[in-house]
Amino acid sequence: MTEPIRTEQPVTEDATRRGALAALLLGVVAIAIGYASAFSTGGTPVWGPWLLALGIPVAIGAIMILGAARGRRGIGALKIPFAFVVAVLVIGFGAALALPADESALSKLWLGLPLRAAIVIYGVGLLPVFVLPIAYALTFETQTLNAEDVERVRELGRENRAAEAGRRETTGTRQHE
C-alpha cells in the first residue's frame, strides 16, 4: 500500500480552502436532507426541493473553488465567473420551482421547451458551459501551475518514489512495472 503524496502545507491552511470545504459540507448536508425529505410519510415537504435547489449550486461552487484555489492566492479573477455560475444555478433552479406547474399542450414554448424546462436546460445546463471555459481561458496564465509549482510536484514525486523503493527494500517486496 502506498502513502499519499505529502505536501509542505495542510490543504486547509488557507482561508479560501477552509471556506470552500465548509460550503461543500453545508451543500452536501442540504442535498442529503432534501433527498431524505422525499421519504416523509406525508409526502415530500415544500422545503425539500428548495434545499436541493440551494445545496446543489453551493456544492458545485465549492468544488469549483477547491479545484481552482492556488494556495494563499485563492481563486483570483475567477471569483466573478464562479459567483455568476452559482447565482445562475440558484436562480435557475429557484425559478423552475417557483413557477406554477400549469404547462399544457397549449403552453408557449421557449426554444422548443416549456418555460420551466427551458430555464433548467438553457439556463442551468448551457449557460455555465459557455461562461466557465472562457473564464478559465482568460485566467490561464495566473491560475495554472508555474515552473516553480511544476518543479515542486516533480520533487514530491521523486521523494515518494524513493520512499516507496526504500519501503520495498525493507519489506522485500517487488513492484512489477
**Range 160-168 contact pairs with CB under 8 angstroms and sequence separation of 24 or more:** 160/2, 160/3, 160/5, 160/6, 163/3, 164/2
Residues 6+ away with beta carbon under 8 Å from 118: 109, 110, 111
| DSSP-based three-state secondary structure for 61 | helix
pLDDT at 91: 94
Query: Helices 47-68 & 79-98, crossing angle to 10 degrees?
Result: 170
Residues 6+ away with beta carbon under 8 Å from 152: none
Cell of 124: 442551468
Rounded to a whole number of angstroms, the CA Rg of the chain reads 23
In Å, the largest CA–CA distance within the chain is 76
Residues of the chain with pLDDT below 50 are 10-12
CA triple 108-111-116, angle to 5 deg: 60
| DSSP-based three-state secondary structure for 176 | coil
Contact 66, 17 (CB under 8 A): yes
Please list the residues that pair with 109 across neighbouring strands.
Answer: 114
pLDDT at 173: 61
Distance CA 104, CA 38 (A): 26
pLDDT at 69: 85
| DSSP assigned state of 109 | E
Distance CA 35, CA 56 (A): 11
| DSSP-based three-state secondary structure for 114 | strand
